[in-house]
Structure 1
Amino acid sequence: MHARQLNRRTTEAIVMALLSLTAVGALRFPVESRAMFVAEVLAIAVLFIVGLFRFPTSAALLASSIGVVVMPITLAFIARACGSPIAFEMTALTTFGTASLAMAIGSRRTQAMSLVASGFLTLFAVTISDDRYAVVLAMAWMAVCVWHLVANHWERLELCAVQQVRRGTGVRPMSVLAAITLCVISGWGVRDRFAESKRFASGFMPFSGGSHWSDPAARSGVGTGDAAIAAKDHAESFGAVESDLFLESTESTLFDMFSDSIGEPKKKNKWERRQAMTPDQVLEAHAKTAKSEKGGSSFSTDRVPPKKHLNLTDATEKAVIQWAGPTGTRLAMNRYDTFDGVNWTNTANHRQETLSHHVQGNADWFMDPTVAGSFGQSTTRVNQLKVLRLDSTRIPVPMTTTGVHVKEVDRPDFFAIDDDGSFFMPGREKVPPLTVVHVAYAKVMEDELWDGLSRGQPSKMVDLELEDHRLEDYAADWTAGCDHPYEKLRAIVEHLRSEFTFDRSVETEADRPIDDFLRSRRGGDHLFATAAALLARQIGLQSRLVTGFYVRPSAFDVSAGHTNVLPDDVHVWTEVRLDDGRWFEIEPTPGYRQPIYTPSVWLVAAQLTAAYWPHAIAWILAAGLLFATRLFWIELGLVVVYPIGAIVWPKKRTALAMRVLQTRARVAGCPRIAGRPQRDWLLAITATHQQLRDAARQFCDAADRAAFAGTSSSSFEHNASKELLMNLKIRVFRQLCKEESA
């Protein structure tokens, strides 16, 4: 038998199918048995090649195609029996790829189906891959696909042509190059605009969950069982996946998390007067101390370097909370407004025992009475928060939170606002595990910051004498040249983020850690936030320290649609008060995203006008001058275009001359009517001037001879075109139009 001859369509379809299988193979190769993987590849290749070239009959080809499709399934059972199991989803993807390969050697209809299948498989495999270079496979598949489609287009033209269609030799390469360039530009445009993907703990596919007890091919991904998936994989669902004993054993307070992440507060050895205490008094004092630490009544800036206790590392799920909302968000739990040089405490009284009850869309919302009127406006956002294992009554919420909602809860005594302005659940020891809280918070515009910060006198809670400069000297140096308070505040934040180094392992030796921080320019986020708060007070703004959690963009789980917030995500930042009583946050610590305050269109226009008004005036004058002399520049451009085009395309100089004439007429206000012959139009418009009419007739005769008679004189055509172009300028067209209308 003769070997089968592959045509262009079949070859290109096979190449695209092989690219899709390569994308799947790149996922499987690092995690599977090398011997079984190589055996499967060789088996598929041998069966496909033998069936395609050795036995090219229809029956043999059909048998070979079926064998190629079922080969991954057969080898999956063999591998499982040999103790090297292959994940079911990988077998399914490989089978999908071999089906695409089998369809590539069929009819034109099956080849079209193969193209769609291989394209989907390639994009899917590249999307779930952790390799940054996997996109090369997608670009290669797209290049072959464009090449294939362009070739099909030319073949259809040849079938419809009377004699022959002359193919442009550069059409296919240029089409492929344009497609690849478009992909590169698009990829560059969306770079860093999406959250980073998160690799599962021990696997790479969402279906590879469970342990080896449930399936030999499982890789401890997201777990198995409907309850586990419902409770852990989606922040908006509820499910009791762990026993109360297990949850209690792994919960930590915010105090413990900060001790693990930024270090424990230093213990001061103070010798004071002592007196004997009864055992009851000792227990009572210990309970008060524990309650104080648990409630976060103070926050110390003087800490030892952190030592990881790893008390949550052994837990199956390390996340403390889950946040279904924008990443880069800060979730506040405690706020402090008074600083004594070492410790932050709260002296404010923003307590609200009774919250406003609002019903919105059959949901019971409990709102802060001071801002309840803003609920439901266009600037209000609603996101979800699930508490997993947090030993606190505080609810971690974003800044400017206006209200909270828990499904099926309609009692106002479930929620309240504490003295420092933080939401909490009174009458409880902690927020119940797996509670899903819907949080409504207002979006702050940049315009409000410019309008809502008034100039005031420095607000000093403590007079800090630093070793080299006073605190106000730092504020004066960093805000030199700034006038508005918000402008000064941004300058302070920028200095801290650009000139200081974030390092939680630094140990301070001075009595006041802020001294060492400003001198060494290195420290933890609690020192960055403290410095920002104190410097904000030096420029006349009210500020406070905030502790809570930071929603890391890199922790976003694309498949689940939420972000797991871990104990290591504890964070400290600063809030500044607006004149209307609201507080907005600033992020002085480098490495953390700054909050986004979007300016309005009017503010952007005002800022651009203030910054570039001399340039704007110059551009307006230049644009006015350019518009006034537009006819001159258009004429100059057309005069330059024709001789260059005549050199580059000598056979098309007559057509180019006609285009120049029509452009001049269009600019002059007398364009050629669509459908009217060019000869009739040109002779009619020059009818009132004999010299122009003769030049136009000579030009048209030369064009007719070149187009229809097949004989032409290049020099004659060029001279006729040049003479008419020299005489028939834009101003002449305008004059002819006036005479014709008169």
Structure 2
Amino acid sequence: MLFKSRRLLESVFLAVVSIASVFQLRAPAELQSLLWSEAILITALLLASLLGSKRVRRVCVIAIPSAPVLFGVLARFLGQPVAFELTAFSTLGCLALALACQTIKPRYVGLSVVISGFLVLFSSSISDDRSAFVFPLLWMVGCVWHLIANRWERLDLAIPESVTRSTINRPAAVLFSAILLFGTAYYAKHHTLHTSKLGLGIMPTSGGSKWSDPAARNGVGTGDAAIAAKDHAESFGAVDTDVFIESTESSLFDMFNDMVGEPKKRTKYEQRQALANQNLIPSHEQTSKSEQGSSSFSTDRSAPQEHNHFDNVVNDSVLQWEGPTGIRLALHRYDEFDGIVWTSSDHESANRVHHSTIDGNDWFFDPNSQSWRNTGEISVGLVKVLRLDSPRIPAPMMTAGLHVKDINRADFFEIAEDGCFQMPGRDKVPPLTVFHLACGCISEDDIRSGLTAQHASLDSQQSDWQQLTHSITRDLSGDYEKLDAVIKYLRSEFTFDRASVPRDGVPLQRFVQSRSGGDHLFATAAAVAARHLGLRSRLVTGFYVRPDSFEFAAGHASVLPSDVHVWAEVQLDDGRWFEIEATPGYIAPDFKASLWLRSRQAAAMYWPHGLMTLCITLMVVFTRQRWIDVCLVARWKAACWMSPRHKYRLAIRTIESRARMLGMPRMIGQTQREWIRSLTQSDQLILSNAMQFCDIADHLSFGSSASDNAPSICTEAAKQLVRTLDRRTLARLLAHPTS
């Protein structure tokens, strides 16, 4: 039974690893609640098949492979269909788990191991997750343990007098295998050459002339290939060619008017009331033209109008993004605010990009990023422009450079006055152009150490918000803590509603009073609060990549006109800008903290809990024998439902565990009767009861079953023996081995 239990647990572990690898493949594309429900159901069926009665085990073993099929049907009913291939993989993993629970025939266990190994290797090979290699490593370590155990078990059964079963070699062999596997994986991860696409085409191009034209695989070339390029984010059209004769592209100005609302036209008297002593705009037409030219952004807007959309539009995506979702793609930045309108300062001019060749590819970098892009971590994303009437290139935070295939001229790109990449001399970015964007990464440690307040902005026109900012941050000391407190206050105490547009007053004051408004007001409030704290801030407009916009089959996320968004950025001492997201409902930027910073934060926040845990741990360590004995007694009392034979074995194991704690384990080759006799020989009464228990147990295990009261007698004898040979009695008997 011990060998069967060992084989059962090992094969179940390997099957569980295979199911986990498939679930990791399914997680990005499925509804999380259904996925977790399926995992919980499979876990419950597994526990029932291991701990239940024989009839329950049979039912659960049949039900385990049916769980993925059931949830696949349920997902389609709820409008969240699961791919048939993934459902088949999950069913195959559950079949391996069901076979692992059947230890009656060894071939079932072997078949389960083979199926689980295939699933783990296949799932990890097609997964894009960087941590997918963990599953084959876990499976290999478990399989090595399983094979070594089977080998030594066969040797032990073949020559029992010359081979002593020991657990010393198994952990050493498994540890050596794990180190070897992890070392090989680390070497392969950092030293394997990058793969490239097949150089020889096997199909003619869609309009091209060469069999090996890359358009045969990427959808690029002439004719209808440019239209087909819209299906995948990595396929692109020629930069110098405008594909469409008639264009329906919208500018960022049009999208904001549709989703946020048009800027209100204000009279000179209203401007004087709002702007106080600021320079006035001569007419409202100039304000509208300025925003349409993207040199300003007004916070005073009317309610968005409801528009009718045609049903025959195949795809209204503006961009396609291949990279992490939940991020923001910036198009325009504004750093001056007069109380109503954000504008871009004129003290900066456009900068030329720096041309650099990396691995044979032409990259164009922002010269201002030279100080930090060679020291920090760089991630590369991919954006394809489909229908955007703007010469600006949508880019994430801290974009250092870009690359476009077959483009090696630096005059194609430049850095605008506000720090955004753009294509000078063009009315818009050519459709279907793909940009590879190199973005810098910033950690929470960098923000905490590089965020220093210079001088607070004391604006009397924003007194209400300034007073509220002061009340939120007055008990805090660090600049990062103050800014984080304001952002959390906006995300928790205010309501995001683009249709909420009060009629009169300054927009920010109305927003603070009503505690409801659009994302442009949330971003404005966050930027103004940062200035009140002495930090330099600016407003950013662009697009938000929704997590639910990711298309699993295509491998990219589609950005729609409704995904226009406004947020804010704050500058560090070294000149870098980082995002702050104050609007509830949008995922905040994830700034990773180092292990040392997380440890300090946890120690500062949970030091009372840590101190209490340490005291409890020390108490448990010094009184561990008593607590182990309590657990043994609890396990014995909870076994009332077990059969008499199982109770007999559990009683022996309980007494063996108590004696092992006291330094008197049962020696290998010593029978249970002899060992119990050696323990109890100093007390004749206990010895008599122990021998009676051994006689009844032998009769129950090896004798005939004619006696109907033998099971009950053995149960009572086991209870009496476990109660008699407690920890104190065993300690007394071991202290006085003879009478």
- Flag whether TM exceeds 0.5 (same fold): yes
Matched, 1:131 2:102: no
Partner residue of 1:703?
A: 697
**C-alpha distance in 2 between matches for 1:728 and 1:434:** 81
Q: Deviations over 1:221-260 (max 9, x none)?
A: x9xx973663111011024899958465312222222222
Partner residue of 2:660?
A: 666
1:606-685 superposed matches below 5 A: 606-642=600-636, 645=639, 649-650=643-644, 652-674=646-668, 676-684=670-678
Q: 1:551 aligns with which of 539, 545, 548?
A: 545
Partner residue of 2:428?
A: 430
Give the 3 Å change call, closer, same or farther, for CA 459–133 of structure 1 in structure 2.
same
Q: Which amino acid aligns with 1:529?
A: A
1:51-450 superposed matches below 5 A: 131=79, 227=225, 230-239=228-237, 244=242, 246=244, 248-270=246-268, 292-307=290-305, 316-347=314-345, 351=349, 353-372=351-370, 374-375=372-373, 379-450=377-448
By how many angstroms is 1:673 displaced?
4.2
**C-alpha distance in 2 between matches for 1:290 and 1:300:** 9
Question: Is the CA contact (8 Å cut-off) linking 1:228 and 1:241 kept in structure 2?
Answer: no
Q: Which amino acid aligns with 2:676?
A: L
Q: 2:488 aligns with which of 464, 485, 494?
A: 494
Q: Normalising by the residue count of structure 2, what TM-score does the alignment of the two structures yield?
A: 0.64
Question: Is the CA contact (8 Å cut-off) linking 2:291 and 2:298 kept in structure 1?
Answer: no
Question: Is the CA contact (8 Å cut-off) linking 2:72 and 2:81 kept in structure 1?
Answer: no
Q: 1:567 aligns with which of 561, 568, 572?
A: 561
Question: Is the CA contact (8 Å cut-off) linking 1:528 and 1:589 kept in structure 2?
Answer: yes
**C-alpha distance in 2 between matches for 1:122 and 1:729:** 50
**C-alpha distance in 1 between matches for 2:386 and 2:396:** 18
Give the 3 Å change call, closer, same or farther, for CA 498–652 of structure 1 in structure 2.
closer
Partner residue of 1:594?
A: 588
Q: Deviations over 1:515-571 (max 9, x none)?
A: 222222222211111111111211222111111111123332222122222222211
Q: Which amino acid aligns with 2:484?
A: R
Give the 3 Å change call, closer, same or farther, for CA 455–671 of structure 1 in structure 2.
farther
Q: Compute the RMSD of aligned alpha carbons.
A: 4.6
**C-alpha distance in 2 between matches for 1:316 and 1:640:** 66
Give the 3 Å change call, closer, same or farther, for CA 150–248 of structure 1 in structure 2.
closer
Question: Is the CA contact (8 Å cut-off) linking 1:587 and 1:593 kept in structure 2?
Answer: yes
Give the 3 Å change call, closer, same or farther, for CA 397–134 of structure 1 in structure 2.
closer
Q: Which amino acid aligns with 1:355?
A: V
Partner residue of 1:110?
A: none
Q: Deviations over 1:358-415 (max 9, x none)?
A: 3333222222223335547773211111112222221110111111111112222222
By how many angstroms is 1:624 displaced?
0.6
**C-alpha distance in 2 between matches for 1:664 and 1:155:** 31
**C-alpha distance in 2 between matches for 1:730 and 1:359:** 75
Q: Highest Rg: 1 or 2?
A: 1
Give the 3 Å change call, closer, same or farther, for CA 286–228 of structure 1 in structure 2.
farther
**C-alpha distance in 2 between matches for 1:358 and 1:236:** 22
**C-alpha distance in 2 between matches for 1:716 and 1:516:** 84
By how many angstroms is 1:309 displaced?
6.5
Q: Which runs of 5+ in 1 are unaligned?
A: 1-114, 161-221, 272-284
By how many angstroms is 1:434 displaced?
1.4
**C-alpha distance in 2 between matches for 1:159 and 1:542:** 69
3-state SS, counterpart of residue 470 of structure 1: helix
Partner residue of 2:13?
A: none
Question: Is the CA contact (8 Å cut-off) linking 1:250 and 1:315 kept in structure 2?
Answer: no
Give the 3 Å change call, closer, same or farther, for CA 666–410 of structure 1 in structure 2.
farther
Q: Which amino acid aligns with 1:464?
A: Q
Q: Which amino acid aligns with 2:587?
A: R
3-state SS, counterpart of residue 488 of structure 2: helix
**C-alpha distance in 2 between matches for 1:332 and 1:690:** 88
Q: Which amino acid aligns with 1:396?
A: P
The count of corresponding residues between Structure 1 and Structure 2 is 545
Give the 3 Å change call, closer, same or farther, for CA 152–367 of structure 1 in structure 2.
closer
Question: Is the CA contact (8 Å cut-off) linking 1:322 and 1:386 kept in structure 2?
Answer: yes
Identity over aligned residues, as a percent? 44
**C-alpha distance in 2 between matches for 1:739 and 1:676:** 21
Q: Which amino acid aligns with 1:597?
A: F
Give the 3 Å change call, closer, same or farther, for CA 421–446 of structure 1 in structure 2.
same
Q: Deviations over 1:614-663 (max 9, x none)?
A: 12111110111111111122223334544564686556443332111111
**C-alpha distance in 2 between matches for 1:415 and 1:695:** 94
Q: Which amino acid aligns with 1:527?
A: L
Question: Is the CA contact (8 Å cut-off) linking 1:235 and 1:322 kept in structure 2?
Answer: yes
3-state SS, counterpart of residue 452 of structure 2: coil
Partner residue of 2:515?
A: 521
Give the 3 Å change call, closer, same or farther, for CA 615–270 of structure 1 in structure 2.
closer
By how many angstroms is 1:728 displaced?
3.9
3-state SS, counterpart of residue 460 of structure 2: coil
Give the 3 Å change call, closer, same or farther, for CA 531–693 of structure 1 in structure 2.
same
Give the 3 Å change call, closer, same or farther, for CA 625–307 of structure 1 in structure 2.
same
By how many angstroms is 1:585 displaced?
1.0
Partner residue of 2:213?
A: none
Q: Deviations over 1:168-190 (max 9, x none)?
A: xxxxxxxxxxxxxxxxxxxxxxx
Give the 3 Å change call, closer, same or farther, for CA 567–674 of structure 1 in structure 2.
same
Give the 3 Å change call, closer, same or farther, for CA 681–519 of structure 1 in structure 2.
same
Partner residue of 1:457?
A: 455
Question: Is the CA contact (8 Å cut-off) linking 1:321 and 1:386 kept in structure 2?
Answer: yes
Matched, 1:484 2:478: yes
Question: Is the CA contact (8 Å cut-off) linking 2:239 and 2:430 kept in structure 1?
Answer: no
**C-alpha distance in 2 between matches for 1:612 and 1:628:** 24
Q: Which amino acid aligns with 2:79?
A: D
Question: Is the CA contact (8 Å cut-off) linking 1:303 and 1:507 kept in structure 2?
Answer: yes
3-state SS, counterpart of residue 323 of structure 1: strand
**C-alpha distance in 1 between matches for 2:476 and 2:731:** 57
Partner residue of 2:278?
A: none
3-state SS, counterpart of residue 461 of structure 2: coil
**C-alpha distance in 1 between matches for 2:506 and 2:432:** 40
**C-alpha distance in 2 between matches for 1:681 and 1:632:** 23
Greater shift, 379-388 or 707-716, is seen at 707-716
